[in-house]
Chains A and B, each alone.
Chain A
Amino acid sequence: MSDAIIKTVQLTKEYGRGATLTRALRGVDLEIPRGSFTCIIGPSGHGKSTLMHLIGGLDRPSGGSVIIDGQQISSLSEKGLAALRASKIGFVFQFFNLLQSLTAAENIETALMLAGVPEAKQKPRALELLELVGLSEKADSKPGQLSGGQQQRVAIARALANDPPVLLMDEPTGNLDSAAEAEVMAVLEELNKKGKTVILVTHSSEIAARAGNLVRVRDGQIEAA
């Protein structure tokens, strides 16, 4: 597969120094095909989140390189990196994804604002996205008034705000029961069918079994499948 939307070359990440040095990633070579449904699995503390942060441009590597949609991120400034996150990547984390003082719609509108969408066009787009995740009627609810699964679906809707080619999710269903997990997975599979590259970290073997592309992380390295 030559068309990789994300590519890493000898990627390393170290935290701390001296006695507290942790080598979270030790030379990761990875290619994630455009339009794939990729699951990243592996034991706890072996570098999955670290890898997600690096391929999403949230953090910079200690060594090696990350290429996102043809762009080498080490050459980008802080500002350039932020712009890249706004346009190319939609993030969803395990919990507390939403800005607590804002309603579901306002959370999405904030993402649109950051991408430079004028205010007048924000609301219709936000409602459209909420409908996509089946939460139209919750537009004016604050996160505290939503269930965990609903919150995650709002987070997904928000991640989609700027129509990024890649959705990066770190255990998006880690805090959910199986029913809520099924709802979220249904949304993600639907999005993947429409062409989004979906990358998600999971501890669930059921989800992993449905992935088109499986990446195993162990000890900061990619294990051969």
Chain B
Amino acid sequence: MTLGKLVFKNLTRRRGRFVFTLLGIIIGMGSFVAFMSLGGSLKSQIERESAALGANLVVTPKGSCAYEQVAILTGEQLPTTITAEEVAAIRSIPGMRAIPYLAERSAIENRPVSVMGILPAETKEIKGWKLSAGSYFPTETTEGAVLGAVLAEQFALAPGSEVRIRGEMIPVLGVLSETGGKDDLTVFLAMPLAQRLYKQKNTVSYVAVRVDRIDEVDLYALKIKEKVSLGVVSDKQMLGSVLSIVGTVNVTLQLIAAVAILAAAFGIVNTMMTATYERKREIGILQAMGAPRSTIFRLFLLESAIYGLLGGIGGAVLGFAASIVAAPYISQNAATSFVKGSQASIDPVMLIGAVLFSTLVAMVSGLYPAWKASKLSPVEAISYE
């Protein structure tokens, strides 16, 4: 017999209670891990999108707020109010490159996809795109579509097939190499075709600006504002405000998970308190056999620690599984659509952290019951029937 074996025998003597207490911890830790891992991949995805935009400044419609900034990074539909004259004025400023985008949505096989109107040559250069199949827009006005890699695969589209957008069959010209970002899930059209399909007379959603001298980015923001009456944000501001929204969502989710963990912790307290009452006489017998208080304390503390250990492992597995399964399904919402197509990554540090955290929580929960058990006087315990 070892203390560890004795703990395991005690742990499993009430199977039902053991399972239900453990489930509480697994669910609490599982939701915590799932939210953490979703939040973590969301954040890195946003950072990747911001980099993929290849811009230092973004010109948005007047009065746009954080929602539009999120939409730019996620590829949501945006109000299209920036006129051709405004675009031309911005593009006339020397020392920077300005590229307009028209951000729209369409559906393929009833699943929503992003549709982007672009300036083919310039966008390709700025984004550093490569083709994996077919050819790219031969001219700035070619009536065809170039597809993101994941989208092409999802809907089994290849050069030569057609894709229906706004009721019109558009020939697929080519497929881009995978970028790891939302471009993989986007249909790209040359600007004139996009504007015609979406009935936007020469208007665009936003303009991405890359300045030649990054240290003068504020100066260029002012220059743009002098020329046109539109909103200008730097990529850092945009990243900051989007991350803070995502952060708020994350914190909220994690608070919910924390409540679940707290409830599970009280489940452990409850189970262990019940165990100390049930085993009152056995505690007395152990004391009569010569077990010091410290041994009784350890016996009970270890028992609750094991709930945390097993619950942490189970919760980590469940949480990661849930985040992998859930990721593609929660993509309809602007704030979470980054996760779409991306795998929730399994972070070993987080896994170990979750198990340690859960064990710690369980041990703290077990402190009071273990202390109560160890404080029993032998005679009181032995007289209990």
Contact = CB atoms under 8 A, between A and B. Distances in A.
Report whether over half of chain A's contact residues are helix, strand or loop; otherwise say mixed: helix
A194 interface: no
Interface in B262-295: 281-282, 285-295
Contacts of B291: 82, 86, 114
A157 interface: no
A58 B289 CA distance: 10
Interface string B135-156: 0000000000000000000000
Interface of B: 1-3, 6, 9-10, 13, 281-282, 285-295, 377-379, 382, 385
A-B pairs with lowest CB-CB distance, top 7? A86-B290, A109-B1, A82-B292, A91-B288, A85-B290, A101-B13, A113-B1
A162 B291 CA distance: 13
A93 interface: yes
Nearest to B2: A119
The interface centre, meaning the residue of A79, A82, A83 with most chain B CB atoms within 10 A of its CB, is A82
Contacts of A7: none
B219 to A, nearest CB: 76
Contacts of A85: 287-290
Contacts of A98: 285
Contacts of B286: 99, 110, 114
Contacts of B382: 53, 58, 93
A158 B288 contact: no
A91 B284 CA distance: 11
A87 B292 CA distance: 13
B290 A101 contact: no
A91 B289 contact: yes
Contacts of A158: 289
A: contact size bracket: 20 to 34
A136 B288 CA distance: 24
Given A58-B379, A59-B377, A110 B293 contact: no
A204 interface: no
Contact of B287 (A82, A97, A100, A113): A82
Interface of A: 53, 56, 58-59, 78-79, 82-87, 91, 93, 96-102, 106, 109-115, 119, 122, 158, 162
Given A53-B379, A59-B378, A106 B1 contact: yes
B378 A111 contact: no
The interface centre, meaning the residue of B290, B379, B382 with most chain A CB atoms within 10 A of its CB, is B290
Contacts of B377: 59
B3 A59 contact: no
A101 B13 CA distance: 7
B288 A110 contact: no
A102 B8 CA distance: 11
Contacts of B1: 102, 106, 109-110, 112-113, 119, 122
A3 to B, nearest CB: 24
B9 A59 contact: no
Contacts of B10: 101
A10 B279 CA distance: 35
A36 to B, nearest CB: 22
Contacts of A112: 1
B380 to A, nearest CB: 9
A40 B295 CA distance: 32
A16 B65 CA distance: 74
22 contacts: A53-B379, A58-B378, A58-B379, A58-B382, A59-B379, A78-B292, A82-B291, A82-B292, A86-B289, A86-B291, A91-B289, A96-B285, A99-B285, A99-B286, A101-B10, A102-B9, A110-B289, A114-B291, A115-B290, A119-B1, A119-B2, A162-B290
